[in-house]
Amino acid sequence: MLRHQNAVLRRQVPRVRYEPADRLWFAALSHLIPRRQWEKIFPITPATLLAWHRKLVTRKWDYSRHRRPGRPPTAAAVKVLILRMAADNPGWGHRRIHGELTRLGHKIAASTVWNVLNRAGIDPAPRRDGPTWKQFLTAQAEHIVAVDFLHVDTVTLKRLHALVMLEHGSRRTHLLGVTPNPTGQWAAQAARNFLMDSDIDSTKLKFLIRDRAGQVTGSFDAAFADAGLRVLTSPPQAPKANAHCERIIGTLRREVLDRMLILNQKHLRRTLTRYLQHHNTARPHRSIGQLPPSQAETGPPNPTDLANHRVHRRAILGGLINEYQVAS
């Protein structure tokens, strides 16, 4: 009767789909029935029944959910540190970074460091062909000064020229002179006056960067050469070679000269002197941690909760620029 019922069911249903619970019941009942009777009783082959049983045993002793295959994943913080080391030290390869991580006590494979750098698009084994200009200038910043001219048209359309100097390391800016006729003799005398009167430590300086302007002659270079500086001239029509000085000239125009009318030479000198005093003592600079040059040399200020203090404003250049100080 059972065999006939199974035959009728097979004719009506083309394929029977068994749920996991059905397979469990069949596998459990198979222990109560002799194997030679399986083919007559169960609507499946013995091989299928044994395969179900093996799967049940495998699932019982399966620990794949408790461990992941392969090596454990690298922590995100370690990946960020690897990329940071590669950015800070372009000459380091994956072996050098691996050694640095090992020195810090972190256990990691060199191949893992290679994979992290490679996936980030960084060459794991960079060529040692020397530093770039940016790296060289950054390393030598405290020993470099740069000079450049800027011109200003007065109210009466008279053109004045000012010679400014920038210290790359401290970002201090100095005014060497203002004149309507920038000759080579005037530029050389302005350089001599600055070296005699300023408090700049020329013993720490090694290089002076300037462009190939006609106002700067050999006597100008000789004045700085006597102070122990080597004069480097930028390539023709290449303002990016003196980018830091070009940027400070742009800052002077955006923050002061484009926002006021200059009357004469005396007015321009007084304006630039007052602004550069603000620039060196109160204006924040991103390159030195959002501190003014004078504050960067002495160290950052103590943390202050401005909600509990009054802040005073002081107008500079007739309110064109404002300085803020915490009231004592």
> Which own/partner pairs from 265-271 qualify as long-range (CB within 8 Å, at least 24 positions apart)?
265/160, 265/178, 265/179, 265/180, 267/154, 268/152, 268/154, 268/160, 268/162, 268/178, 269/162, 269/175, 269/178, 271/317
The SS3 call for residue 101 is helix
Q: What are phi and psi of 118, to 5 degrees?
A: -65, -40
Nearest to 139 by CA among 149, 131, 151: 131
The SS3 call for residue 104 is coil
Tens digit of each residue's pLDDT (9 = 90 or more) over 219-247: 888 988 888 889 988 888 888 888 889 99
Structure tokens at 286: 């991103």
Tens digit of each residue's pLDDT (9 = 90 or more) over 261-275: 999 999 999 999 999
What's this model's pTM, rounded to 2 decimal places?
0.61
Distance from the first to the final alpha carbon of the chain: 105
Q: What is the CATH number of domain 137-298?
A: 3.30.420.10
Q: Where are the alpha helices (DSSP H) in 30-124?
A: 38-41, 46-60, 76-88, 94-103, 110-119
132 and 89 Cβ atoms separated by less than 8 Å: no
Nearest to 178 by CA among 257, 232, 251: 257
Ranges of residues in the chain whose predicted pLDDT is under 70: 11, 13-16, 38-44, 46, 49, 63-71, 127-137, 202
